[in-house]
C-alpha cells in the first residue's frame, strides 16, 4: 500500500509542477528524466526481476518508434492509436525473441549478446529498406494538437511520459506482489529449483520479455512524437540500450523506485558535468564515467538499496 501511495504522490507531484515552475529548462529536465526512468523500468522488468540481462533493448525501442512513424505517415492512423500499436508490436517482437532464445536455454552472456545481435541486424535492415526511410530516416509533420499527440510546450509531453511511467511502475508493483512476479523472481534466483517446484521458466520469461518490450516500444513512440524524427542509428543503436540498463543498475535492480532514482542521478550528473566542464572536450564524460564506476563499486545494490542497512540497524536497536 505504501508503494501505491508513493506512485500516487509521484503522479500528483509531477502533475502540479507546472503550476509552480515556469522554466522550460526544468520542465524539459523532468520530462527527459521520466523518459529515462521509463527506459530503465522497462529493462528492469526483464533484467531486474527476471535476471535476463539484455544488451539490445533498443530493438523494442526501434520497433516502437518505427511503428509509430509508419502508422501515421503510410497507414494514416491517428498518433494515439499508433501508440497502442507500437506497444503491441514491440511486445510481439519480445515474444519472438524470447521464443527463439529461451527455447534453447540461452541465458547470461549468451542471451545478452544475442539481443545485441538482434538490434544490430534490424539496424542494418532499417538502413536498407525504403519504407523505413533507409539511412535518411523518417520525419513526421508538425501538427500541434492534443488529438495529434503534439503539444505547444514540453508540459503536454511531460504528462504523457508521466502516464507511461506510472503504468510501468504499477506493473512493477504487481510483479512484487503477484504469483507471476514470484515465479519470475524464482526463475531469476534458481531456474532449476523453480522448475522442480512446478514453475514453467519458458512461459514466465516470455511474459516478462513481452511486458518489457511493450514499455520499451512506448518509449520509442514517445521519442518520435517529441523529436519528430527517427533513423536506424537512433532507433536501434546501442545508446538507448546502455542508457536503460545503466540507470536500472545504478538505481537498484529488481526494485520499484530504483530505475527512477537511477535516471534522476544520471541526468543530474550528466547536466552538471556538461555545464561545469563543457569547455574541456571529453572531460565531462570522464567525470561522468568515473562517478558511475564509484556508484557501482560501492553501492552494489544500487541507490535504492542504500536505506536497507540503515533500516535493519534501526530495527535492531529498537529490538
pLDDT tens, position by position, 180-224: 999 999 999 999 999 999 999 999 999 999 999 999 999 999 999
| Number of residues that make up the chain | 319
User: In this predicted model, which residue has the larger pLDDT, 153 or 283?
Assistant: 153
pLDDT band with cut points at 50, 70 and 90 for residue 315: low
Residues 6 or more apart in contact with residue 283 via CB below 8 angstroms: 273, 277
User: In this predicted model, which residue has the larger pLDDT, 285 or 199?
Assistant: 199
**Do 111 and 52 touch, CB atoms closer than 8 A?**
yes
pLDDT band with cut points at 50, 70 and 90 for residue 282: confident
Containing structural domain, residue 99: 2-318
| Mean pLDDT estimate for the chain | 91
Transcribe 51-88 into DSSP letters: ----S-THHHHHHHHHHHHHHHHTS---HHHHHHHHHH
pLDDT band with cut points at 50, 70 and 90 for residue 276: confident
- The percent of residues above 70 in pLDDT, for the chain, comes to 95
What average pLDDT does range 302-309 have in this prediction? 74
In a 13 Å sphere around the CA of 146, the CA atoms on its Cβ side amount to 5
* CATH assignment of the domain containing 221: 1.10.3470
Backbone angles phi and psi of 150, in degrees to 5: -135, 140
Residues 6 or more apart in contact with residue 301 via CB below 8 angstroms: 252, 308
pLDDT tens-digit series, residues 144-168: 999 999 998 999 999 999 999 999 9
pLDDT for position 314: 46
Distance CA 65, CA 218 (A): 8
**Do 117 and 55 touch, CB atoms closer than 8 A?**
no
Residues 6 or more apart in contact with residue 70 via CB below 8 angstroms: 131, 132, 138
Question: Looking at the predicted structure, is the pLDDT value of residue 99 above 70?
Answer: yes
**Do 19 and 155 touch, CB atoms closer than 8 A?**
no
pLDDT for position 281: 73
- The percent of residues above 90 in pLDDT, for the chain, comes to 77
SS3 label, residue 150: strand
pLDDT band with cut points at 50, 70 and 90 for residue 7: very high
All three cell numbers of 281? 572536450
Question: Looking at the predicted structure, is the pLDDT value of residue 105 above 90?
Answer: no
SS3 label, residue 23: coil
**Among residues 162, 314, 129, which one has the least CA distance to residue 235?**
129
User: In this predicted model, which residue has the larger pLDDT, 271 or 154?
Assistant: 154
All three cell numbers of 61? 525501442
Distance CA 296, CA 176 (A): 24
**Do 68 and 82 touch, CB atoms closer than 8 A?**
yes
**Do 94 and 111 touch, CB atoms closer than 8 A?**
no
pLDDT tens-digit series, residues 219-261: 999 999 999 999 999 999 999 999 999 999 999 999 999 999 9
pTM to 2 decimal places: 0.93
pLDDT for position 273: 80
**Among residues 252, 254, 171, which one has the least CA distance to residue 216?**
171
Q: Which of 132-136, 200-204, 234-238, 304-308 has the lowest mean pLDDT?
A: 304-308
pLDDT tens-digit series, residues 56-89: 999 999 999 999 999 999 999 999 999 999 999 9
Distance CA 311, CA 101 (A): 40
Question: Looking at the predicted structure, is the pLDDT value of residue 309 above 80?
Answer: no
Distance CA 266, CA 288 (A): 8
Residues 6 or more apart in contact with residue 167 via CB below 8 angstroms: 215
Distance CA 29, CA 136 (A): 28
How many domains does the chain divide into? Answer: 1
The burial of 75, by beta-carbon neighbours within 10 Å (0-12 exposed, 13-18 middle, 19 or more buried), is given as exposed
pLDDT for position 115: 96
Question: Looking at the predicted structure, is the pLDDT value of residue 272 above 60?
Answer: yes
Backbone angles phi and psi of 143, in degrees to 5: -140, 85
Amino acid at each position: 500500500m505504501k508503494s501505491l501511495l508513493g506512485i500516487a504522490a509521484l503522479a500528483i507531484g509531477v502533475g502540479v509542477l507546472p503550476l509552480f515552475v515556469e522554466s522550460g529548462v526544468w520542465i524539459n529536465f523532468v520530462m527527459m528524466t521520466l523518459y529515462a526512468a521509463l527506459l530503465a523500468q522497462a529493462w528492469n522488468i526483464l533484467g531486474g526481476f527476471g535476471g535476463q540481462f539484455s544488451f539490445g533493448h533498443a530493438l523494442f525501442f526501434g520497433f516502437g518508434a518505427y511503428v509509430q512513424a509508419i502508422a501515421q505517415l503510410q497507414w494514416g492512423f491517428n498518433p494515439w492509436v499508433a501508440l497502442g500499436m507500437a506497444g503491441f508490436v514491440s511486445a510481439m517482437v519480445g515474444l519472438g525473441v524470447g521464443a527463439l532464445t529461451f527455447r534453447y536455454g540461452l541465458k547470461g552472456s549468451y542471451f545478452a549478446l544475442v539481443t545485441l545481435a538482434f538490434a544490430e541486424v534490424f539496424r542494418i535492415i532499417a538502413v536498407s529498406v525504403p519504407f523505413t526511410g533507409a539511412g535518411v530516416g523518417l520525419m513526421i509533420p508538425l501538427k500541434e494538437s492534443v488529438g495529434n499527440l503534439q503539444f505547444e510546450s514540453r508540459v503536454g509531453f511531460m504528462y504523457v511520459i508521466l502516464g507511461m511511467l506510472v503504468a510501468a511502475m504499477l506493473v512493477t508493483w504487481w510483479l512484487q506482489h503477484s504469483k507471476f512476479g514470484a515465479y519470475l523472481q524464482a526463475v531469476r534466483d534458481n531456474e532449476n529449483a523453480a522448475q522442480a517446484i512446478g514453475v514453467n521458466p519458458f512461459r514466465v520469461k516470455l511474459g516478462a520479455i513481452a511486458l518489457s518490450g511493450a514499455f520499451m516500444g512506448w518509449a520509442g513512440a514517445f521519442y518520435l512524437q517529441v523529436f519528430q524524427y527517427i533513423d536506424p542509428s537512433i532507433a536501434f543503436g546501442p545508446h538507448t540500450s546502455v542508457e536503460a540498463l545503466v540507470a536500472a543498475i545504478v538505481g537498484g535492480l529488481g526494485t520499484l523506485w530504483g530505475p527512477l532514482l537511477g535516471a534522476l542521478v544520471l541526468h543530474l550528473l550528466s547536466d552538471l558535468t556538461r555545464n561545469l566542464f563543457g569547455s574541456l572536450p571529453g572531460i565531462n564524460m570522464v567525470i561522468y564515467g568515473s562517478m558511475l564506476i564509484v556508484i557501482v563499486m560501492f553501492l552494489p545494490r544500487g541507490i535504492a538499496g542504500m536505506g536497507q542497512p540503515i533500516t535493519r540497524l534501526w530495527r535492531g536497536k529498537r529490538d
